[in-house]
Structure 1
């Protein structure tokens, strides 16, 4: 096979896997360093060749290829080193493990450690869920390795190259000394695979050093709490509770009454109930539902207000699905406000060039009273909307058919 170009960046497990396969097969590869996460992204020339901006990518003359598994399979097609196994069954099994590492293990590990390192927005429930998923995958691997040196057959295959490459990210960030002690099979396996000559050639003979203690999230200095355009009156300060006497220690403390939602004080709306609008939106085509809401204007503005909600840190967004998960997390934590709130938040743009914004209809005129039940609401800005003047934005947000700052709707979530 004549020389080929492989595009990617250092430390990227998918790029590393492609380069290691090339070393095993003796394929002459020119590595072109391209990092979509660096300032400026991949650049216009790269996008002209690979419109989705994905890495790794392969180029051989006029032939261009993306997707890590496809690239690795292409580089290994001669199977001179046996990385595709010794039989069709081996090849299928190797591909199965490589696919699992690429599509399951890597995303769960990344969703666990990237927010901890500041590479992605941090939402504790999302990180904990990712950790649980990653640990489950790793337990599966630990059991599989209890009785074998390599995952398929008696030598390194595509399976091991992908799994070991992905494990790097875990060992560099969260699979610390305590975890390694509890998972000796995986540690032994990883050390065996990465000490093969092709791995060392790609790594530059650098001895990997797993982290001793897992990284932890360090919150950045936060901006002041959400500021409303018309801030609600500050809650009166509570008097300090006197210290209890020793002889009263056995007396059970009275349970504090549960705080009421701020919107409860607004009473029953004089105009339509919000639930009726939600039914209209759910059961009709969106354009027809909007006509129904038109018929309620301006009456519904007596009890409800409209708001544009925008994520403050759009420059930190990376993959569209991760941004969509961010929106889903916000909506999950707005559960206490469900009967006071309706809206749709969208992700606009593409990977590493996107923004999050949406339109919401809520009870009352104080968006913060409704959104502050979600701890991550402070990561969003709030701007009042007018049903008439801002109708184009509201309609687009609720029908998912518009662009924002030149970016097309890519994904999103409805809260109803």
Structure 2
């Protein structure tokens, strides 16, 4: 069984994949103490091991370094989670790709503005909602006669797809929106209530009211992540913000392909917990 250290900020759904896989495998995976996003992962020591400076990142107890959440989850998983045969292994990879390419972009576009960490765009959000519906319909049809996505037992497909859906089910998939997807709802609640999953994410509470974009919250979160006051401070604020060539120095971030949440977190004041400014989650 794998053992080692996982570098991540709190409540990172990508890191949950590996932590849950380790629970099933009986591995000893510890979260790096004192990790500060935007500081620890930019340090020389960290970059020597993980040149892109991205998290989650994993270092095994014998010094092997792995990046990318799906790869880390695969490494710390056991044989059951990885699939019983070559076909199952391929099907698991199929669902991992589906989660990353079909579910995740739409989830970020829809959910992140409601958390105040991304600007709202009505057209993009409506398109994202349709993309989410399409993905849920694919899952719903597949799960009509199945308990799990691949085979007869939980695999990495269930773990990783479930983790990718967490923000949707937590913030925006209210009862009326999720009602047509009963098979997915049944499967999702089955997975989040597994002891190995609950030990990582805590008791999960399904969304009761769809979160919406709040301009005031957006201004507050953006000001907090940039170390300033909300925009109403007037002309002084604007004058101080005009010398923003400095922002361009900080913009290696897109080159690293950080998602908008991580980009916002990178700008957090270093002494704070990265999620202090975001709405409190229901994972406990």
Q: TM-score range, shorter-chain basis?
A: 0.7 to 0.9
Q: Secondary structure at the match of 2:5?
A: strand
* Residue pair 2:92, 2:157 contacting (<8 A) in 1 also: yes
The structure with the largest helix share of the pair is 2
In structure 2, the residue matched to 1:26 is: 26
Instruction: Map Cα deviations across residues 177-201 of structure 1 (whole Å, 9 max, x no partner).
Output: 1123222111100111122221122
Task: Please list, as runs of the form range in 1=range in 2, the aligned pairs for 1:259-338 lying within 5 A after superposition.
Answer: 320=254
Distance 1:181-1:351 versus aligned 2 partners, 3 A rule: closer
Question: Is 1:72 matched with 2:60?
Answer: no
Instruction: Map Cα deviations across residues 170-224 of structure 1 (whole Å, 9 max, x no partner).
Output: 1111111112322211110011112222112223xx3211121111111136969
Tell me by how many angstroms 1:48 deviates: 3.6
CA separation in 1, counterparts of 2:72 and 2:97? Answer: 13
What is the number of residues matched between the two proteins?
Answer: 243
CA separation in 1, counterparts of 2:128 and 2:206? Answer: 20
Instruction: Map Cα deviations across residues 320-370 of structure 1 (whole Å, 9 max, x no partner).
Output: 2899x99xxxxxxxxxxxxxxxxxxxxxxx95679xxxxxxxxxxxxxxxx
Unaligned runs of 5+ in 1: 228-307, 327-349, 355-416
Equivalent residue for 2:172, pick from 161, 171, 174: 174
Task: Please list, as runs of the form range in 1=range in 2, the aligned pairs for 1:191-230 lying within 5 A after superposition.
Answer: 191-203=189-201, 206-220=202-216
The structure with the largest strand share of the pair is 1
* Residue pair 2:52, 2:256 contacting (<8 A) in 1 also: no
CA separation in 1, counterparts of 2:183 and 2:207? Answer: 18
Equivalent residue for 2:119, pick from 118, 121, 145: 121
* Residue pair 2:17, 2:70 contacting (<8 A) in 1 also: no
Question: Is 1:13 matched with 2:41?
Answer: no
Instruction: Map Cα deviations across residues 214-258 of structure 1 (whole Å, 9 max, x no partner).
Output: 11111136969xx9xxxxxxxxxxxxxxxxxxxxxxxxxxxxxxx
Distance 1:143-1:318 versus aligned 2 partners, 3 A rule: farther
Distance 1:95-1:19 versus aligned 2 partners, 3 A rule: same
Instruction: Map Cα deviations across residues 140-172 of structure 1 (whole Å, 9 max, x no partner).
Output: 112211121100011100100001111211111
Unaligned runs of 5+ in 2: 220-229, 236-241, 268-284
Distance 1:213-1:3 versus aligned 2 partners, 3 A rule: same
Larger radius of gyration: 1
Higher relative contact order (CA 8 A, sep 6+): 2
TM-score (norm 2): 0.73
Q: Which moved more, 1:131-140 or 1:109-118?
A: 131-140
* Residue pair 1:173, 1:214 contacting (<8 A) in 2 also: yes
- Which structure 1 residue ranges, 4+ long, deviate > 4 Å from structure 2? 221-224, 310-319, 350-354
